[in-house]
Amino acid sequence: MEKINVALIGQGFMGRSHSNAWGQVRRFFAVPMMPVMHTVFGQEAENPQLFAENWGWQHAATDWEAVVRSPEIGLVDVVTPNYAHAPVARAALAAGKHVACEKPIAGTLADAREMVEAAESAGVQTFVWFNYRRCPAVALAHQLVESGRLGDIRHVRAQYLQDWADESIPLWWRFDKSLAGSGAHGDLNAHIIDMTRFVTGQEITEICGAIAETFIKQRAIASGMAGGGLAEGGGDTATMGEVTVDDTVLFLARFSGGAVASFEAARQATGNQNRNGFEINGTKGSVKFDFERMNELEYYDATLPRAVQGWNTIMCTHGGAFPDGHPYVENWWPDAHVIGYEHGFTNQAYDILRVLAGQPPTVPIPDFNDAYQTQRVLEASLLAAEQRRWVHLEEVK
């Protein structure tokens, strides 16, 4: 079997998620190409050697530029803070490497555009880790819409709510616009924009009614530095710094097929740990998804006699090919032996390997250009909030 050496650029939470995926994918899926966990990059202070030993990487490095130029590396997987996505990806593309990148694709629209152009010039494969597409329930919703089971889509509601960012959290890179690009908007709205584009098969064409708000305007400076920016960790309450990103962004939108939509992202929605979900209403039916119940999809079939219509909870854990089974889960556990957050990353690693081997993915996988369309929506929403007007996506390129 052909092999491909993978380099992971970055560590932290996403580094652990991706490492687990690359280590597990060949154990659960009949992969068409064998991933080799070759090298992980990290700052010296992060102790990349310890990370490598813990997660199964063969080598550790503190010079990412040397890693991405290495002739031994075939795929570069970028999990750095957002501001570093573009320079790492551009260098890897210039070296002729395939590139997978965490979302949002970049900290700014200009960087995202340059990444798309670099990918087109390089002629290699690119991927973006919008891993929620790989939840069996979300993939099933996509297939239900694609098969016409919902009819014409009229109405979309999407929300991604968390409650972790209270006053006790210090000022680390996610609260710094120069490092993150935006706050809850880029971190959370990016996911639900991508999911609704994916499930409906439509593009967002215009934005209005946008609100962006920062409730906690100063935070304690975080102790320690990592990746060239503010790190996670305790804060020095005697030294405060300015928060330069949003805590919440809400906006209204219109899809290319005529549907109207609402989106909301918040990091201080008390009681919502990871409420990432959507409701999509069509002329023949509707679907609802909530990641806090990620193995379930709510489905309403309006073509049934009115007397027996009602919301149906589908436990998306039945293996086998659609429509008799649910995407991905035949590779995991028996029916109703539920899967978790990490499985979406492993499912995506499998689809990346399929594409690299010249095979179609299980469901469409976003490349840099696809992710750039989501980035355009993010930018248009902030523009609408700032200028308090309708913004057509043609304005944002």
pLDDT tens for each residue of 387-397: 999 999 999 99
pLDDT at residue 320, rounded to an integer: 78
pLDDT at residue 230, rounded to an integer: 39
Q: What is the pLDDT of residues 139-163, one digit of tens each?
A: 999 999 999 999 999 999 999 999 9
The label of the residue with tokens 């708000």 reads: 213
pLDDT at residue 238, rounded to an integer: 61
Q: Which residues pair with 255 in a beta bridge?
A: 204
Residue of 210, 234, 217, 226 lying closest to 268 (CA atoms): 217
Residue numbers in the chain where pLDDT is lower than 50:
225-233
Give the helix/strand (H/E) hosting 208. Answer: strand 204-213
Structure-derived torsion over alpha carbons of residues 238, 241, 242, 246, reported in degrees to the nearest 10: -100
Q: Is the dihedral of CA 308, 309, 311, 312 positive or negative?
A: positive
The label of the residue with tokens 């002729």 reads: 96
Query: Tokens standing for 315?
Result: 């436990």
pLDDT at residue 227, rounded to an integer: 35
Question: Rounded to whole angstroms, how far apart are CA atoms 87 and 395?
Answer: 26
pLDDT at residue 319, rounded to an integer: 86
Per DSSP, 71 falls in state T
Inter-residue contact 273 to 166 (CB < 8 Å): no
Q: Domains of the chain (ranges plus CATH)?
A: 3-128 (3.40.50.720), 134-335+373-384 (3.30.360.10)
pLDDT at residue 329, rounded to an integer: 94
Q: How far apart are the first and last CA of the chain?
A: 41
285-297 residues labelled b (16+ CB within 10 A) or e (exposed): bbbbbbbebbbbb
Query: Tokens standing for 95?
Result: 């070296």
pLDDT at residue 228, rounded to an integer: 36
pTM for the predicted model, two decimal places: 0.93
pLDDT at residue 237, rounded to an integer: 52
Inter-residue contact 57 to 19 (CB < 8 Å): yes
Cis omega before residue 104 (within 30°)?
yes
The label of the residue with tokens 């899809």 reads: 255
Nearest-10 crossing angle of helices 48-55, 12-28: 30
Cis omega before residue 87 (within 30°)?
no
pLDDT at residue 226, rounded to an integer: 37
Per DSSP (E only), the strands in 10-110 are 34-41, 59-61, 75-78, 98-101
Residue 103, classed as helix, strand or coil, is coil
Question: Rounded to whole angstroms, how far apart are CA atoms 104 and 129?
Answer: 9
